[in-house]
Amino acid sequence: MRDFYGYGRDLPQVRWPGGARVAVSFVLNFEEGSEFAIGDGDDRNESVYEVIDGLPVADGCIQSHFEYGTRVGYWRIMELMEKYKARITVSACGRAAERSPWLVHDARERGHEIAAHGYRWESHAGLEIGEERQRIAAARQAIEAACGIAPVGWHTRSAASVNTRRLLVEAGFLYDSDAYNDDTPYEINIDGHRHLVLPYAFDTNDMQFQHTQRFSTGWEFATYVSDAFDWLWREGKTRPRMLSIGLHLRMIGRPGRIGALQTILSHMRRKGDVWIAPRAAIAAHWRAEMDKLG
């Protein structure tokens, strides 16, 4: 059943740690190696964002675009996160973690959360329940094997299925990000179990550099995200607000765009009263605060 009202005007009186006005969640999507590629034995090639030819043969062009993220982009992004003391969520596909376990291990060692982004980089819409249960388990197991800790968060590429949330609760996940309908976390009841939803966003997301070319320069992206932050920062004086910023290794990690991330981080730190945190920490804090409020 759809909910068009949400909190309305009556947001819970939750405060972020240290009296921060905004909880900021940087989500670094790690998909490299989990995309579909004929060269890897799949029946098709990925054909969005970088290359849209959709060739019916092995396509080294698009494969090399994905490889850029792990070879170069990851290190640039991590250097900035360390510089600005920002802890983030690395949303990893299970197969990507299997093929580059060093990346999730390194991210975990740096203090970042590793969440699940499916096993393959694919939608779950239309999957049979048994098949989807297996995909969720495979993603969870692959990530735990790579970094030593099972993920507690989940985000499906594009659309989830009608069963996804029930299966996530069954598998022990704390939260999912398969919603785009709010600027504040919320709880839902799944078969008598409390489940947290941390809404995600596609507008404050570097996918728009290539998916729609909404942002043609790093400056445009930095300005848009900073404007979103400033507005939520003002609202955050009286109500709990959260900003999700979606990043991709092979997108923001390019030399012509990485400066946008530095500008965004610098702006937030100068403004102050901001909590930059992994989604798992935001979810845990929200649950604890809601428990206090009864």
Q: What is the pLDDT of residue 50?
A: 66
| Residue 194 scores a pLDDT above 80 | yes
129-179 pLDDT per residue, tens: 999 999 999 999 999 999 999 999 999 999 999 999 999 999 999 999 999
Q: Give mean pLDDT, residues 241-260.
A: 97
Q: Give mean pLDDT, residues 173-187.
A: 98
| Residue 20 scores a pLDDT above 80 | yes
Q: Give mean pLDDT, residues 191-218.
A: 92
Using 50, 70 and 90 to split pLDDT, how confident is the model at 240?
Answer: very high
Rounded CA-CA distance 18/169 in Å is: 31
Average pLDDT value for the chain: 95
Q: What is the pLDDT of residue 55?
A: 78
Q: What is the pLDDT of residue 47?
A: 76
| Residue 224 scores a pLDDT above 70 | yes
Q: Give mean pLDDT, residues 2-22.
A: 96
Q: What is the pLDDT of residue 56?
A: 85
270-282 pLDDT per residue, tens: 999 999 999 999 9
| Residue 201 scores a pLDDT above 90 | yes
Q: What is the pLDDT of residue 52?
A: 67
Q: What is the pLDDT of residue 54?
A: 72
What are 276's strand-pairing partners?
24
What are 248's strand-pairing partners?
29
Q: Give mean pLDDT, residues 89-96.
A: 98
| Residue 191 scores a pLDDT above 80 | yes
Q: What is the pLDDT of residue 46?
A: 84
Q: Give mean pLDDT, residues 242-253.
A: 97
Q: What is the pLDDT of residue 49?
A: 62
24-72 pLDDT per residue, tens: 999 999 999 999 889 999 888 887 766 666 778 888 788 899 999 999 9
Residues 147/97, Cβ–Cβ less than 8 Å: yes
Distance from chain centroid for Cα 242: 13
DSSP characters for 81-143? Answer: HHHTT---EEEE-HHHHHH-HHHHHHHHHTT-EEEE--SSS---TT--HHHHHHHHHHHHHHH
Is 292 buried (19+), middle (13-18) or exposed (0-12) by CB count in 10 A? exposed
Structural domains in the chain, sorted by start = 17-293 (3.20.20.370)
Rounded CA-CA distance 225/149 in Å is: 31
Q: Give mean pLDDT, residues 227-240.
A: 98
Q: Lowest-pLDDT range, 3-17, 56-70, 259-273?
A: 56-70
| Residue 6 scores a pLDDT above 80 | yes
| Residue 202 scores a pLDDT above 90 | yes
